Structure 1
Amino acid sequence: MDPTSAMAGTPAQREKGTEPTVAIAHDYLTQRGGAERVVLAMHRAFPEATIYTTLYDPERTYPEFRAARIVTSPLNRFPGFRRDHRAALPLLAPAASALKVPADVVLTSTSGWAHGFRTPGRVLAYCHSPARWLYLTDQYLGDSRRRSAKALALAALKPFLLRWDRRAAAGADRYVANSSVVRDRIRAVYGLDADIVHPPHSVDTQGELEPISGLEDFVGDGGHFLIVSRLLPYKNVAEAIDAFRGLDERLLVIGAGPLRARLEATLPQNVRLASHLSDAQMRWAYSSAAALVAPSYEDFGITPLEGGAWGRPTIALRGGGYLDTVVERVTGTFIEHPTPASIRDAILAFQPHEWDAERIRTHVEQFSEDRFREWLRSAVREISGRALRAAG
């Protein structure tokens, strides 16, 4: 599709009161995660908005995106890049710079690329984190950081990518952080003061429940522990799996990513791994869980809210975005280090009867999509008002 068709109206038309055109920009739509959930919430707030992204794989991300008009970069012609966006690393900055977004206001959902898309309009950058591969490189690469081809390529590209990233960030009209820790990172790496607006959860506890095929007997009547996470080194899923070895407890891991094959090869009998589930299957997994386990380094950490919508507590790493979403002894408990021993101790100490499901649900209501949508629409009115005054 010709992306210029997304533009409706000229500055003169806008001065006469025509609504500003709104577009949504996101790094890549090739996976299922919290950032992609935020894009869906943005699109529900502005259902006529075109979504611009470097890569789009409808089979690997949420099916709801099929209802949207999506414009991609030329990189999307290559199936290998859609399967693994990390393989496109040397090309993503040029591709992002070349992707034009012809709209009055661009809602940018970014963790490294979309804030660099070109547009004549105003940019509201909603930041999930400054690029983790640039500013938290060791955490991003994990055990492979010194010897892998990816690590060597990133080291060679890093000086260029740092200049590109900081220039792109400076081009936004307003920067918004999804959590306290991300606000601090934005200030540290970009020198920008960002407001904090927490992303919403989008759990529908009234929706249909669909058992995960092959796991009916494993889950049984529930009471299992649950991890919902991308399978990346800094998510510490391997450490959590190790913590369950030999325990008389069950762990269900839901996620996909580069570590999947390695994790599957060594799963103990009391752990199962599932990927690419429907919302109905996710509801089934959450609704019958005893608690969430969240040992990762998260920028926001939405899974405690998703579990909390069902009244389930979370065992979380004390740090990052979990400090914004978990209230100690009310909605969850913390571990100090993401080690198998620390996670194991927390599992053994967990007592289901100590948690008040209604208090947990009440806390989660603060993170509703309705509140997020109201903020989005207000922010667009404000930033487009500035555009109109500047045009006049």
Structure 2
Amino acid sequence: MFPDAPIYTTLYHPEGTFPEFAEAKIITSRLNRVGLFRHHHRAALPLLPLASSLMKVPSGTAIVSSSGWAHGFRYKGPTVVYCHTPARWVYLMEEYLGTRWWKRPRGVAVKLLHPLLKRWDHHAMAQRDYYLGNSTVVQERIRNIYGRQDVGLIHPPHAVDTGGELQPVPEAEHLLDGNGYFLVVSRLLPYKNVDAVIEAAAVAGKRLLVVGRGPLEMELRSMAHDDVLFVKDLTEPQLRWAYAHATALVAVSYEDFGITPLEASAWGVPTIALRAGGYLDTIRPGVNGIFTDTATAPDIARAMQEVQELPWDPEAMKAHADLFSEQRFAREIDELLRRFTGPPSDAPPR
């Protein structure tokens, strides 16, 4: 929407994010000079409150895309905060760190820093003009945690191009032998519940393709059976291929919004989703997916069987995904900016 606007961010690792950012003007904090932090941003946690507080955004109006740090930058003019969630590491620690948080250095650090992080976060929130959530659960969470009642809601878009090139994932080509496979597209973190999906696939006797990377990769690989394939760093054509040929997507983490079911729907692929979080906004049972009430292996295994027995209409799924298009998102953001700040004379920074 704002191709000429500068992007202010704490850390930027070009090789680790979308290549389109290479065309933008990126302004980073001083932490970005440390290669360790660029590659492993969680290691910078103790320094991020200070680094964020020192980030100055001199432009008139700022659109702040934040899940914890960007709303704490120093802004010259009005701010509209598109909040993906109040900081998960402050308010949903057990979910973010996992139940055995004390066994990880990051978990210990977050626990020790919690009082400081909470004070910093509430101070940052108090400086901002307007918040909107990306799902109904996040909208309500903002109200409950921050005590703000005037909170808007705009669902994020998906950006699936079903007309783009499909390129087979080399390690996964054998999955097209007619027996099908279930798909997980996720960061490999404790709250994503990928371990439960792996267990469920073993119980149900299903093949599973896991797309993603994260700190639990080796642990998950060690527990996986022979019919689980892990891949990462896929190209866009390869990710399209993975979606296009899947039997169903499995998404059983508690997500603030959760974009992957919409990406699957755009390909006419149903989703097994946890009945919680943002999936309550994006899943229409019987249209583009089914719910499982828990993220346990037995419930997921039952859902794997059920989703294969139901009749699905790919065109209805695609029509549902179209409700979350980039065009709709751009229109709603533009209407908000015009209502909140008036017609912008300059492109605001992102």
Question: Shorter-chain-normalised TM-score: which range?
Answer: over 0.9
Write out per-residue CA displacement over residues 350-379 of structure 1, whole angstroms, 9 at most, x where no aligned residue. Answer: 225511111111111110000111122222
Q: CA deviation at 1:220?
A: 4.3
Q: Which range moves more in the overlay, 315-324 or 353-362? A: 353-362
What residue is the counterpart of 2:348 in the other structure? Answer: none
Match of 1:291 in 2: 248
SS at match of 1:351: helix
Question: Contact 1:290/1:352 (CA < 8 Å) preserved in 2?
Answer: no
Matched, 1:78 2:41: no
Gapped regions of structure 1 (runs ≥ 5): 1-44
Tell me which residue corresponds to 1:31.
none
Compute the RMSD of aligned alpha carbons. Answer: 1.7
**One-letter amino acid matched to 1:241:** I
Counterpart of 1:89 in structure 2 is: 45
2:273 pairs with 1:316: yes
CA contact (8 A) 2:182 2:207 kept: yes
Residues 248 and 270, structure 2, Cα contact 8 Å, conserved in 1: yes
Question: Does residue 356 of structure 1 match 2:336?
Answer: no
Q: Give the TM-score normalised by structure 1.
A: 0.84
1:346 is aligned, of 276, 286, 303, to 303
- The answer on 1:174 being equivalent to 2:130 is yes
Q: 1:260 aligns with which of 209, 217, 235?
A: 217
Please identify, of 244-253 and 90-99, the stretch whose mean Cα deviation from structure 2 is larger: 244-253
8 Å CA contact retained: 1:122, 1:387: no
Deviation by residue 1:65-120 (Cα, 9 ceiling, x = unmatched):
11111111111111211222111110001001111112111111111000001110
| Residues in 1 aligned to 2:237 and 2:118: alpha-carbon distance in whole angstroms | 41
Q: Distance in 2 between matches of 1:309 and 1:168?
A: 37
**Which whole-Å CA distance do the structure 2 matches of 1:48 and 1:219 have between them?**
43
- Of structures 1 and 2, the one scoring higher in RCO (CA 8 A, sep 6+) is 2
Checking the alignment, whether the CA contact within 8 Å between 2:49 and 2:120 is kept in structure 1 is: yes
The 8 Å contact of residues 229 and 235 in structure 1, kept in 2 or not, is answered as yes
Residues 337, 344 of structure 2: 8 Å contact kept: no
3-state SS of 1:140 partner: helix
Pairing 1:225–2:182 present: yes
Picking from 231, 248, 251, the partner of 2:205 is 248
Structure 1 residue 206: Cα displacement: 0.3
CA distance in 1, matches of 2:339, 2:111: 40
The structure 1 residue matched to 2:258, chosen from 284, 288, 301, is 301
Query: What is the aligned length?
Result: 344
Q: Secondary structure of 2:171's match? A: coil
Asked whether the 8 Å contact 2:204–2:304 carries over to 1, the reply is no
User: What do residues 12-67 of structure 1 show as CA deviations (whole Å, max 9, x unaligned)?
Assistant: xxxxxxxxxxxxxxxxxxxxxxxxxxxxxxxxx11001111111111111111111
Q: Distance in 1 between matches of 2:203 and 2:142?
A: 42
How far, CA to CA, are the matches of 1:350 and 1:364 in structure 2? 19
1:333 is matched with which residue: 290, 294, 300? 290
Worse-matched range after superposition: 378-387 or 201-210: 378-387
Mapped to 1, the partners of 2:176 and 2:28 lie a distance apart of: 40
CA distance in structure 1 between the aligned counterparts of 2:288 and 2:174, rounded to whole angstroms: 28
Task: Tell me, yes or no, if the aligned pair for 1:222 and 1:290 is still in contact at 8 Å.
Answer: no
Query: Secondary structure, in 3 states, of the residue corresponding to 2:109?
Result: helix
Q: Which residue of 1 aligns with 2:86?
A: 130
| Stretches of structure 2 lacking an aligned partner (at least 5 in a row) | 346-350
- 1:383 corresponds to which letter in structure 2? F
Q: Which residue of 2 aligns with 1:280?
A: 237
> Does 1:214 find its partner at 2:179?
no
- The range that moved more, 214-223 or 170-179, is 214-223
CA contact (8 A) 1:177 1:183 kept: yes
